[in-house]
Structure 1
Amino acid sequence: MTAMPTIHTRPARTCAAVLRAGSSALRTPAMTVDADAILFSAKSFAAAMLAYYVSLRIGLPKPFWAIVTVYIVSQTSAGASLSRGVYRFAGTVVGAMATVAIVPNFVNDPIACSLVLAGWIGLCLFFSLLDRTPRAYAFVLAGYTASLIGFPGVLDPGVVFDTASLRVQEISIGILCAVLIHRYVLPKPMTGQFTGKLSATLRDARRLAGDALAGTPEENRRDRHQLAADLLALQGLATHLPYDPSPVTPRRGTLHLIHDRLSRLLPLTAEVEDRIQFLRMDGGGRADRLTALVGEVRAWVETDKRDGGETAAARLIAQARAVQGSLGADAAVPADGVGANLAGHLAEMIGLLQDCDRLGQGMSAGRPSRKAASLHGPMRAKGYVYHRDPWMAARAALGACAGILGGCAFWIGSGWPEGGTAVSILGVCCSLFGNVDAPAPVVVKYLVGSIYGVLVSLVYSFAILPQVTGFTVLVAVLAPAFLFAGSLQARPPTALMAMGITLTIPILSGLGTAYAGDFAGTLNMVIALFFAVGFAAVSMSLFQTVPADAAINRLLHLSRRDVGRRALGTAPNEAHWTSLMIDRTALLLPRLRASGKDHADILDDTLRHLRIGHAAGRLRTAVAQVDGEAGVALNGLLSSIAACFGTRGPAAPADLDNLAELDRRIGALMAMLGTVAYGSRPRIGDLLIDLRFALRSGRTAKGGASPS
């Protein structure tokens, strides 16, 4: 009797183990990505067929535009799909209105019409590159809608208004169906993805602080670069939150508060690391209390379970302020002044981390934190600041105009009947892919997808669709191709190739109101498509490509220029400056990978610019509080910094002699301030120490003297 349970329980245990293993496999990241891609593809296909059916029922002549729109608008999250749909609709309407205004008035002069249409597309691209938010998509659509409608309409300007009106209706139906399906059928909210990324970013921030306290430079480098990339990724997710179907989304003010604190934390950890290394090498001063404080702060930072964190943070801040006061009251040796400066930075770092914890916990719990906006950071949050470069945007826009005009010249000169269609596709490529430094590889990926799309379309057009007799059967035969391409579109590595498939099949397969089966027309369309995309790859290589080294040098040049402006008091406020430099750091990361240059040195240069500009800007605001000879010397120092950093060529480093001279003048100014009694002397002294360490970090990296 005792053997029976053993015989029966062994298979049961085996089955349970198999089920647990299967459940674990299904929860792996790869399986999760696959499941999400399949769900996205199914919903997109359902929205496309719904849009196609509605367009057929109301008698629109080219219902395939509704299918194309669905696949352009559809995103993996409900919020992103809605925001993209809103901006696509706005851009389509504006582009259609521009086309109706341009083509009939210039149709008698093809050259002038081409110039105006190309200029409009270039202008829209210019504004999209300056915006750098999801709103940029509206500008892109305003440009390439004019291209799609305008160039083919040159041959028949009398129907341009009707064509524009019908195109807006077809696209509107596609937008509506895509938004409804992705929002109400198994929606994937953006809020959960955002809070997950925020939690990872807060962990990265704590690790960065811990590595700074431990004095591990290489780890700190990687952590700072990761935090800069995290902040850009968070901003990209946050822009879609207002459109998210989640019942509770983080408030805009809360997002700005947490961004400003994380942004300030990035250079602050470099300041802390420099001070700790200096004091270790110096070995003098009253370092016992400071060493104990650093150890306690590090233990607090690295503790996962922070029960009573509010009390511990307040105690550590009070302790840091006490150490700062005792070391700064009578700084008998230079190390005491640096120690007081370090204690002040530790107090600020503790407060910033505690604020980030409060804000993060409030957002994760779906409620705002009333205590989040403490005195540890700026009360008036600035939020993420985008780097915008009108010169580079104008360069890309003029390149697009040149490419489109080159296509128009070939069309007009050759009299090619399908030239209008080819140039319209060329304008779409120049607009849609003109937001990257090297667009040609992106266009090639799209071209590869278009080749697959053409092959599939030919099979559908002349082998499968002639046998279809009803809409239900049509949906069934279209499903394999669209479901497979849609799953590829949900994966970033294959998204561009998939778009070439999903945007080509509806048009070339002739998914209109009735089956046409025009082989000659299809062949002409294929030739126009390949010519346009191939010409776009060549023209964008010539006119719209920015070498990675040139883009890097441009960003470094602008950073140096703005350091000079900070020293002169003409640059933006501190929060704006810090966020702007972090965005530039995030923009440098992909360009450095493309150039093959050493990431760390160039990114460290950007961080040095941030630190120098921060200290110089704060000194400029405080210079009015320093009178007499010291005030004159401080003004002269800031003017020298502006001359050193603000008037050089792209990415030219400050030479060692200039850095040494600036260091000497700071030392003399600090000695001069030590003989003057006034209330703001400790603050001015702290800022001079910050400036000196920031300048010395650049000098050390270039082979000069160490801070000791």
Structure 2
Amino acid sequence: MRTMPTFPLRGADLAFSVKTFAAAVLALLIALWIDLPRPYWAMATVYITSQPLAGATASKALYRVLGTLAGAAAAVAIVPSFVNSPELLSLVIALWTGACLYVSLLDRTPRGYLFMLAGYTLALIGFPAVTDPGSIFDVAVSRAQEITLGIICATLVSTIVLPRSVAPVVAAKVERWLSDARGLSRDVLLGGGGSDADRAHRLRLAAEALEIDALATHLAFDRQADHHAVEGLRALRLHMQLLLPLLGSIHDRLAALDGHVGGELRALLRHLADWVIAADDREPADRLRTDIDALRPSLQGNSSWHQIMTTSLLIRLRELVDIAEDCRALNAAIAAGTDTSRVPLAFRTEQGIAPARHRDPALALWSAAGVVIAILVCCAFWIATGWADGASAPMMAAVACSFFATQDDPAPSIVRFAAWSLVAIAVDAVYLFAIIPAISDVELLIAALAPAFLLFGVLIARPQTTPIGMALGANGATLLALQSTYSADFQSYANSSIAFMVGMVAAVVLTRLVRSVRAEWIAQRLLRTSWDTLALTAERRGHHDRGAFVGLMLDRLGLLAQRFAAIPEDDRRELDNLSHLRVGLNIIDLRRARHGLTETALGAIETMLDRLAAACRGRGIGTGAMPAHLLSAIDVALLKTLDEPVAAAKEDALIGLVGIRTGLFPDAPAYRADSAARRSLVA
């Protein structure tokens, strides 16, 4: 077993631990007072539910209540119907748990906790009730009461006693992210952004944007959070997400113009770099926009690649000014608590109804199958041996397999959870058979429990040791099984503890056999899915909500960033440069131009998108590099677009085509109108 890591004690951690222990004691005392059959479940629920931030505790509490009620209702409906057929009952409970886990894994929001809990709650209630099915309704009701009591106590103490709001934490993360993004923007504008360190910085910002997004979901449950801040943060996060691929696009265009950046443009880039990084008293954005527009060349059918890239760069610089100004305005409005819907925004965005998230139905089904098999194997062992306390084995298999199902290889985490649960078993044994028998009143009992459970709370408060604290706190409270009278029996305790560990061991063994995969396999699967998404975007002619597409691709990017070390070197460069995301956004830019283009240009773009979709499908199944005929199709589409009469449509189409070309063919020779004309004749 690994030794427990040591960290300096912080006041916030200790305060959280004291609050959690107070809530647990309150829940236990109320449960004893109203004579609930298993008061220790109320105490354990506090340690399962409590989070250092009040909003996170409230959101988890709501979903835990709903999940418990759903699982309890399922127990009442299912157990009496199948109690005379234990094999069939085991199958039904296993399938219910697996189905709920499948939905939970697809949801990938805090709401997913509801479905996961509904799944294993049926196992927690149903398996112990097999020997006494007539009491299933009373057991389900009491379990719901005990858990709800624990949730209420945890939520009240968290939100009333020295509450830690989510809002300041999110605000600090957003401010730090914007500061880092301003620094990266300055580096890109001054010609940097292409080193390994810069790419790692860009990837880290993408991952941090997702962390902010995940943390912000708890704001709606935070009593101290302002409604305007919640709404404003949605708009700000969308701008933050769009900023990263925009910086990648600017870097690509500057790299393509290397050695051909004129003096006026170079001066503008330095001016813009100073403006982006400035904290206060900045030059008005409108003046910068005027300077940018003044340098834009007029494009014709015979325009050079240098002119095209310069125009494309200046358009992206205009977007950078707009997004940077919007981010500052929104962040200031959020800090002031004003209505962000009245903030005038310069950048055009399409806001989705909800953040899009990556979903993998096949992998979710695989994880669900793993928990079904683990439960059935434990049930088979229980039924075959006739073990009186064997119900704990399938219960713990259901809990362990569900809790860690989101990981590539859940087995190591289950092993660690089991190891620290074994420590909780040992600690409880000392309490039950050496300390508690000598205690005669509740005050002494609370004082005796305080040292261990305060330590558990400190461990939960720290991200590095949260799993350890959860294993010790939740299992320690559950296995301690405190009642109104002392009735501990060593043989019964040993049997239930052994059954508990059998379930954990079964979960580990079956997870290794059925579910464990390597991180690189998941990473390759995510990369293939990104290519498939690009193919679908091209086939749908860019009919993607811009915000939803960015959210989906950045969510996928965050999942890839967690597995960065397992990704092959060639694929890392695509990941660092956000190439999938940028190409997809450029396809969406083409959609904006469609209604203003002539049939000639539109036909060339349609042909290009068809070839792009086919090429992306090929990359999705690993068939090699992008084909040369796709580059030819892009150049032909550029040629046709440059002759377009409608300036706005030409601009949108140009942005999209240049972005697709530089994103997919960064090392290709410069576009030439005469070569494109010859290709057009061949086509």
Q: Normalising TM by the smaller chain, what interval? A: over 0.9
Counterpart position of 2:496 = 525
1:131 counterpart = 2:107: yes
Partner Cα separation in structure 1 for residue 642 and residue 487 of structure 2: 90
Counterpart position of 2:506 = 535
**Could you tell me how far 1:140 is from its partner in structure 2?**
1.4
Counterpart position of 1:301 = 276
Counterpart position of 2:295 = 323
1:87 counterpart = 2:63: yes
Q: Deviations over 1:584-623 (max 9, x none)?
A: 1011111224x37559825527721112222223324534
Counterpart position of 2:224 = 246
Structure 1 pair 599/130, CA: closer, same or farther in 2 (3 Å)? farther
Q: Is the 8 A contact 1:400 1:544 kept in 2?
A: no
**Could you tell me how far 1:41 is from its partner in structure 2?**
0.8
Superposition pairs for residues 51-450 of structure 1, below 5 Å?
Answer: 51-216=27-192, 217-218=194-195, 219-246=197-224, 248-281=226-259, 283=260, 287-303=262-278, 305-307=279-281, 309=282, 311-324=283-296, 326-328=297-299, 332-369=303-340, 372-378=343-349, 380=351, 384-450=355-421
Structure 1 pair 333/482, CA: closer, same or farther in 2 (3 Å)? same
Secondary structure in structure 2 of the residue aligned to 1:170: helix
TM-score (norm 2): 0.92
Partner Cα separation in structure 1 for residue 657 and residue 123 of structure 2: 56
In the alignment, residue 520 of structure 1 is paired with which amino acid? Answer: Q
Secondary structure in structure 2 of the residue aligned to 1:416: coil
Partner Cα separation in structure 2 for residue 86 and residue 681 of structure 1: 51
Partner Cα separation in structure 1 for residue 267 and residue 320 of structure 2: 16
Partner Cα separation in structure 2 for residue 76 and residue 674 of structure 1: 57
Structure 1 pair 577/596, CA: closer, same or farther in 2 (3 Å)? closer
**Could you tell me how far 1:524 is from its partner in structure 2?**
0.3
Partner Cα separation in structure 2 for residue 365 and residue 645 of structure 1: 46
Counterpart position of 2:605 = 634
Secondary structure in structure 1 of the residue aligned to 2:200: helix
Counterpart position of 1:559 = 530
**Could you tell me how far 1:381 is from its partner in structure 2?**
5.6
Q: Of the candidates 43, 47, 50, which is equivalent to residue 23 of structure 2?
A: 47
Q: Is the 8 A contact 1:447 1:497 kept in 2?
A: no
**Could you tell me how far 1:322 is from its partner in structure 2?**
2.4
Partner Cα separation in structure 2 for residue 349 and residue 542 of structure 1: 50
CA RMSD of aligned residues (A): 2.2
Q: Which runs of 5+ in 2 are unaligned?
A: 1-6, 673-683
In the alignment, residue 56 of structure 1 is paired with which amino acid? Answer: L
Structure 1 pair 467/382, CA: closer, same or farther in 2 (3 Å)? same
Structure 1 pair 366/681, CA: closer, same or farther in 2 (3 Å)? closer
Q: Deviations over 1:250-277 (max 9, x none)?
A: 4443222111111111111111111112
Partner Cα separation in structure 2 for residue 685 and residue 596 of structure 1: 33
Partner Cα separation in structure 2 for residue 155 and residue 350 of structure 1: 70
Q: Is the 8 A contact 1:359 1:368 kept in 2?
A: no
Partner Cα separation in structure 2 for residue 468 and residue 505 of structure 1: 19
Q: Deviations over 1:647-691 (max 9, x none)?
A: 4544x26425x0x33223322332344455455334323322122
**Could you tell me how far 1:46 is from its partner in structure 2?**
0.5
**Could you tell me how far 1:373 is from its partner in structure 2?**
4.3
Q: Is the 8 A contact 1:327 1:339 kept in 2?
A: no
Partner Cα separation in structure 1 for residue 468 and residue 403 of structure 2: 14
Structure 1 pair 577/531, CA: closer, same or farther in 2 (3 Å)? same
Q: Of the candidates 655, 671, 696, which is equivalent to residue 639 of structure 2?
A: 671
Greater mean alpha carbon deviation, residues 362-371 or residues 512-521: 362-371
Partner Cα separation in structure 2 for residue 296 and residue 176 of structure 1: 56
Greater mean alpha carbon deviation, residues 212-221 or residues 109-118: 212-221
Secondary structure in structure 1 of the residue aligned to 2:413: helix
Q: Deviations over 1:13-34 (max 9, x none)?
A: xxxxxxxxxxxxxxxxx76x62
Partner Cα separation in structure 2 for residue 176 and residue 675 of structure 1: 67
In the alignment, residue 59 of structure 1 is paired with which amino acid? Answer: D
Aligned length: 662
Counterpart position of 1:694 = 663
Q: Is the 8 A contact 1:313 1:354 kept in 2?
A: yes
Q: Deviations over 1:139-185 (max 9, x none)?
A: 11111111101111122211111111111111111111111111111
Q: Deviations over 1:59-93 (max 9, x none)?
A: 11211101100000110011111111111111000
Greater mean alpha carbon deviation, residues 37-46 or residues 383-392: 383-392
Superposition pairs for residues 638-649 of structure 1, below 5 Å?
Answer: 638-649=609-620
In the alignment, residue 582 of structure 1 is paired with which amino acid? Answer: L
Partner Cα separation in structure 2 for residue 206 and residue 599 of structure 1: 28
Counterpart position of 1:578 = 550
In the alignment, residue 656 of structure 2 is paired with which amino acid? Answer: L
Partner Cα separation in structure 1 for residue 312 and residue 532 of structure 2: 28
Partner Cα separation in structure 2 for residue 429 and residue 476 of structure 1: 31
**Could you tell me how far 1:460 is from its partner in structure 2?**
0.6
Q: Is the 8 A contact 2:608 2:634 kept in 1?
A: yes
Q: Is the 8 A contact 1:623 1:634 kept in 2?
A: no
Greater mean alpha carbon deviation, residues 675-684 or residues 111-120: 675-684
**Could you tell me how far 1:496 is from its partner in structure 2?**
1.3
Greater mean alpha carbon deviation, residues 217-226 or residues 341-350: 217-226
In the alignment, residue 484 of structure 1 is paired with which amino acid? Answer: L
**Could you tell me how far 1:359 is from its partner in structure 2?**
0.9
Partner Cα separation in structure 2 for residue 294 and residue 612 of structure 1: 24
Partner Cα separation in structure 2 for residue 460 and residue 206 of structure 1: 56
Q: Is the 8 A contact 1:207 1:302 kept in 2?
A: yes
Partner Cα separation in structure 1 for residue 40 and residue 505 of structure 2: 24
Q: Is the 8 A contact 1:623 1:635 kept in 2?
A: no
The sequence identity of aligned pairs, in percent, is 35
Secondary structure in structure 2 of the residue aligned to 1:162: helix
Q: Is the 8 A contact 2:219 2:230 kept in 1?
A: no
Partner Cα separation in structure 1 for residue 569 and residue 608 of structure 2: 32
Q: Deviations over 1:423-464 (max 9, x none)?
A: 111111122221222111111121121121111111111110
**Could you tell me how far 1:625 is from its partner in structure 2?**
4.1
Greater mean alpha carbon deviation, residues 418-427 or residues 622-631: 622-631
Counterpart position of 1:471 = 442
Q: Deviations over 1:281-327 (max 9, x none)?
A: 4x27xx23222211111111122x321x3x52221112112222x35
Q: Deviations over 1:349-397 (max 9, x none)?
A: 0110110011111222333345534132316465632112222211111
In the alignment, residue 269 of structure 1 is paired with which amino acid? Answer: L
Q: Is the 8 A contact 2:351 2:548 kept in 1?
A: no
**Could you tell me how far 1:116 is from its partner in structure 2?**
0.8
Secondary structure in structure 2 of the residue aligned to 1:374: coil
Structure 1 pair 185/624, CA: closer, same or farther in 2 (3 Å)? closer
Q: Is the 8 A contact 1:106 1:112 kept in 2?
A: yes
TM-score (norm 1): 0.89
